[in-house]
Structure 1
Amino acid sequence: MEDRYLFKTKRKDTNEWAIGNLIHTFTGMPYIVTEYDHILNFITIDEVDERTVCQCTGLKDKNGNMMYENDIVKRTDKPKAGEPTIGIIEYDIANTAFLIRWIDNPNYSPTFPWKEKIEVIGNIFDNKDLLESEK
């Protein structure tokens, strides 16, 4: 489960997604380290937009894609009428766990049991239209 320590966030200079380890300077400015050598000298470090920082859940969806906080997921099994189909992965501080907040059904579910039944279809930063179509 070492992937759960990964983060993804948008770089400030290019607005592209970067995946790596999140660090903060003594002033609190966040950076993402995407590459380092065997002595832990940083090779690639980028300033990031702190509003887009998403922690990895350590789990993969049914297609083998890593799931991150703020990802939009869709059920791929055949839900019955009234069951949730689209959700957002969120971190719940009270339960110290990643949960799925279902958009079309006001419930939360633990992420782990769903990993074989859902696929990541986007995220709340790049794909807000996916959420609007489900309301």
Structure 2
Amino acid sequence: MIPKFRMWNRISSQLYLVDGLYFDDKEAEYVDDDNVLRFIGFKNIELMQSTGLKDKNGNEIFEGDILAFETDDEVINVNVFWDEEHALFMFESKKYNEQEPLAELVENNTYPFEIIGNIYENPELLEDK
């Protein structure tokens, strides 16, 4: 799998797919809303990697995404993040103060889940849910 990234542009407060990363120059390459190729320094972005997984609608899941999944009793919103210590993608429920490997949610396929937002544009979706 070829790693795929997106970024949160701290200057424009917008989310973009990353077309290239240049570590020598410490820059990311992306195409803006006007279809213009742009470069931005690493210090001005939050980089997020694709998990390689998809939600129930076929949308690609990136770290920083907020997922909603239905249990028998309720809908729970969780955020996706990279866990450095365990070297894997995890999801976190603020409501239950729990963290679990994202692969378990996908592999078990017990509860359908979908992307409902991300931590930059929709942080309110994580408030006690």
TM-score greater than 0.5 by the shorter chain? yes
Q: Is the 8 A contact 2:6 2:17 kept in 1?
A: yes
Using the TM superposition, give the Cα deviation of residue 14 of structure 1 relative to its aligned residue in structure 2, in angstroms.
Answer: 4.6
- 1:94 and 1:12 mapped to 2: Cα distance? 26
2:67 matched to which residue of 1?
73
TM-score, normalised relative to structure 2: 0.75
Please tell me the root mean square deviation across aligned C-alpha atoms, in Å.
2.6
Task: Count the aligned residue pairs.
Answer: 119
- 1:85 and 1:13 mapped to 2: Cα distance? 31
Matching residue within 5, 8, 11 for 1:10: 8
TM-score, normalised relative to structure 1: 0.72
- Unpaired runs of 5+ residues, structure 1, are 35-42
Q: What is the correspondence of 1:1-135 to structure 2 with a 5 Å cutoff?
A: 1-2=1-2, 5-11=3-9, 14-27=12-25, 29-33=26-30, 44-47=37-40, 49-50=44-45, 52-75=46-69, 77-80=70-73, 85-115=76-106, 116=109, 117-132=112-127, 134=128
Q: Is the 8 A contact 1:7 1:53 kept in 2?
A: yes
SS at match of 2:57: coil
- Unpaired runs of 5+ residues, structure 2, are none
Using the TM superposition, give the Cα deviation of residue 13 of structure 1 relative to its aligned residue in structure 2, in angstroms.
Answer: 6.5
Q: Is the 8 A contact 2:79 2:126 kept in 1?
A: no
Identical aligned residues as a percent: 24
SS at match of 1:121: strand
Q: Is the 8 A contact 1:23 1:33 kept in 2?
A: no
- 2:20 and 2:58 mapped to 1: Cα distance? 23
